[in-house]
Amino acid sequence: MSTILLVEDDPDIRHLVAYKLGKGGMDVIGVADGVAALREARERPPDLVLLDVRMPHMSGIEVCRELRAGPLAADVPIIMLTARARPQDLEQGFAAGATDYIVKPFSPRELLERVEAVLARVAR
């Protein structure tokens, strides 16, 4: 069973994503901010991180940089979740260390499929 660290400040989205991934057989650790995400990643390194970009106090881009610089192994995928879809936003996410980028609103089924695909690539 894969462990997913879900970092999303919107409780409704966090609940929906956790529910869908849980139904897909994944263990989901949901947190509401970047500080909690960094703490969880240190305490229980996940197999994949789903990371909202726009959060209070610490942006998802900052969290991604911190995760890549510290607690995560280089091969742990980070998928950014965001409403920002401009090319420069994607470039910024990938430059920070993101593996993939999913634009909101998204289909919960598509999210599950993308997470499974990324985990399958890492497992090879």
pLDDT in tens, 72-99: 877 899 999 988 778 888 888 899 999 9
d(CA 23, CA 109): 11
Determine whether 119 is exposed, middle or buried from the number of CB atoms within 10 Å of its CB (0-12, 13-18, 19+). middle
d(CA 30, CA 47): 14
Q: Which residues pair with 31 in a beta bridge?
A: 7
pTM of the model: 0.93
Q: By the 8 A CB rule, do 41 and 31 touch?
A: no
